[in-house]
Amino acid sequence: MDEINIRLPKKIIYDDFTSEILPKEYVKVEGNLRLYTSEIERLLRDLKRAGFKETLLEIRKGEMYSLSKKIGIWEIHIRIYPDGFLDSHLELSREYFQHLTFSSISFAYELYQMFPYLELHNHNKRILTK
Protein backbone atom coordinates (compact mmCIF):
# COMPACT_ATOMS: atom_id res chain seq x y z
CA MET A 1 0.00 0.00 0.00
CA ASP A 2 1.21 3.51 -0.77
CA GLU A 3 2.11 5.55 2.26
CA ILE A 4 1.61 9.27 2.69
CA ASN A 5 3.28 11.19 5.48
CA ILE A 6 1.47 14.33 6.54
CA ARG A 7 3.56 17.04 8.15
CA LEU A 8 1.86 19.68 10.22
CA PRO A 9 3.72 22.85 11.15
CA LYS A 10 3.53 23.90 14.78
CA LYS A 11 5.63 26.99 15.48
CA ILE A 12 5.74 29.45 12.60
CA ILE A 13 7.31 32.85 12.00
CA TYR A 14 5.51 35.42 9.86
CA ASP A 15 7.02 37.96 7.49
CA ASP A 16 6.47 40.66 10.14
CA PHE A 17 8.72 38.55 12.44
CA THR A 18 5.94 37.69 14.88
CA SER A 19 5.56 34.03 15.71
CA GLU A 20 2.74 31.73 16.65
CA ILE A 21 2.25 28.15 17.79
CA LEU A 22 -0.59 26.59 15.81
CA PRO A 23 -2.83 23.93 17.35
CA LYS A 24 -2.77 20.60 15.49
CA GLU A 25 -6.53 20.62 14.92
CA TYR A 26 -6.33 24.10 13.36
CA VAL A 27 -3.57 23.14 10.93
CA LYS A 28 -5.45 20.02 9.79
CA VAL A 29 -8.44 22.01 8.47
CA GLU A 30 -8.34 22.88 4.77
CA GLY A 31 -8.37 26.62 4.21
CA ASN A 32 -6.76 27.68 7.48
CA LEU A 33 -3.29 27.55 5.97
CA ARG A 34 -3.46 28.72 2.37
CA LEU A 35 -0.95 28.68 -0.43
CA TYR A 36 -0.29 31.51 -2.87
CA THR A 37 1.54 31.79 -6.16
CA SER A 38 1.92 34.56 -8.69
CA GLU A 39 2.80 31.84 -11.21
CA ILE A 40 -0.47 29.95 -11.71
CA GLU A 41 0.46 28.54 -15.14
CA ARG A 42 3.83 27.31 -13.84
CA LEU A 43 2.13 25.63 -10.88
CA LEU A 44 -0.47 24.03 -13.15
CA ARG A 45 2.31 22.68 -15.40
CA ASP A 46 4.33 21.40 -12.41
CA LEU A 47 1.31 19.71 -10.83
CA LYS A 48 0.49 17.93 -14.09
CA ARG A 49 4.12 16.77 -14.34
CA ALA A 50 3.74 15.39 -10.79
CA GLY A 51 0.74 13.31 -11.91
CA PHE A 52 -2.18 15.60 -11.04
CA LYS A 53 -5.06 15.69 -13.50
CA GLU A 54 -7.64 18.40 -14.07
CA THR A 55 -11.00 17.31 -12.76
CA LEU A 56 -14.38 18.70 -11.81
CA LEU A 57 -14.81 18.46 -8.07
CA GLU A 58 -18.28 17.76 -6.73
CA ILE A 59 -18.66 21.13 -5.03
CA ARG A 60 -17.39 24.20 -6.91
CA LYS A 61 -15.97 27.06 -4.81
CA GLY A 62 -15.08 29.59 -7.50
CA GLU A 63 -11.79 27.97 -8.45
CA MET A 64 -10.17 28.50 -11.84
CA TYR A 65 -8.63 24.99 -11.83
CA SER A 66 -9.42 21.80 -9.94
CA LEU A 67 -6.88 18.99 -9.89
CA SER A 68 -6.63 15.63 -8.22
CA LYS A 69 -4.19 12.78 -7.87
CA LYS A 70 -4.86 9.30 -6.57
CA ILE A 71 -2.16 7.67 -4.45
CA GLY A 72 -3.17 4.21 -3.30
CA ILE A 73 -6.36 4.57 -1.29
CA TRP A 74 -5.92 8.36 -1.00
CA GLU A 75 -6.86 11.30 -3.20
CA ILE A 76 -5.29 14.73 -3.13
CA HIS A 77 -7.51 17.58 -4.34
CA ILE A 78 -6.27 21.06 -5.22
CA ARG A 79 -8.30 24.16 -6.06
CA ILE A 80 -6.48 27.07 -7.71
CA TYR A 81 -8.33 30.39 -7.53
CA PRO A 82 -8.01 33.32 -9.97
CA ASP A 83 -6.27 35.46 -7.30
CA GLY A 84 -3.38 32.96 -7.02
CA PHE A 85 -4.46 31.35 -3.75
CA LEU A 86 -5.02 27.63 -3.55
CA ASP A 87 -6.52 25.16 -1.14
CA SER A 88 -5.75 21.47 -0.98
CA HIS A 89 -6.76 18.46 1.01
CA LEU A 90 -6.15 14.75 1.30
CA GLU A 91 -9.04 12.36 1.67
CA LEU A 92 -9.90 8.70 1.42
CA SER A 93 -10.69 7.81 -2.19
CA ARG A 94 -14.31 8.01 -3.31
CA GLU A 95 -14.02 4.35 -4.26
CA TYR A 96 -14.37 3.44 -0.59
CA PHE A 97 -17.59 3.58 1.40
CA GLN A 98 -15.66 5.07 4.36
CA HIS A 99 -15.11 8.16 2.19
CA LEU A 100 -18.48 9.38 3.45
CA THR A 101 -17.33 9.47 7.07
CA PHE A 102 -13.57 9.99 6.80
CA SER A 103 -12.51 13.58 7.48
CA SER A 104 -10.22 15.25 4.98
CA ILE A 105 -6.98 16.89 6.08
CA SER A 106 -5.18 19.93 4.72
CA PHE A 107 -2.40 19.13 2.25
CA ALA A 108 -1.09 22.71 1.98
CA TYR A 109 2.11 22.12 3.87
CA GLU A 110 3.16 19.20 1.67
CA LEU A 111 2.62 21.24 -1.50
CA TYR A 112 4.59 24.08 0.08
CA GLN A 113 7.47 21.64 0.57
CA MET A 114 7.18 20.27 -2.99
CA PHE A 115 7.12 23.61 -4.81
CA PRO A 116 9.50 26.19 -3.28
CA TYR A 117 7.99 29.12 -5.19
CA LEU A 118 4.70 28.76 -3.30
CA GLU A 119 4.03 31.00 -0.31
CA LEU A 120 2.27 29.70 2.79
CA HIS A 121 -0.21 32.06 4.50
CA ASN A 122 -2.20 32.12 7.71
CA HIS A 123 -4.65 34.91 8.59
CA ASN A 124 -3.54 36.81 5.46
CA LYS A 125 0.03 36.84 6.81
CA ARG A 126 2.88 35.15 4.90
CA ILE A 127 4.77 32.49 6.81
CA LEU A 128 8.56 32.78 6.54
CA THR A 129 9.70 29.71 8.43
CA LYS A 130 8.20 26.61 9.80
**What is the per-residue pLDDT across 76-127, written as a single tens digit (0 to 9) for each?**
899 999 999 999 988 877 665 555 566 778 888 889 888 989 999 998 899 9
Average pLDDT over residues 36-59: 91
Given a contact cutoff of 8 angstroms between Cβ atoms, the answer to whether 96 and 18 are in contact is: no
Predicted local distance difference test score (pLDDT) of residue 102: 66
Contacts of 108 (CB under 8 A, 6+ apart): 30, 33, 34, 35, 87, 88, 120
Residue 83 and residue 94: Cα distance in Å, rounded?
29
| pTM for this model (two decimals) | 0.83
Per-residue pLDDT tens over the stretch 15-46: 999 999 988 888 888 888 899 999 999 999 99
For the chain, the farthest-separated pair of C-alpha atoms sits apart, in whole angstroms, at 45
Residue 96 and residue 15: Cα distance in Å, rounded?
41
**Cα–Cα nearest to 81, from 108, 62, 95:** 62
Q: Is 17 left (phi over 0), alpha (psi -120 to 50) or beta?
A: left
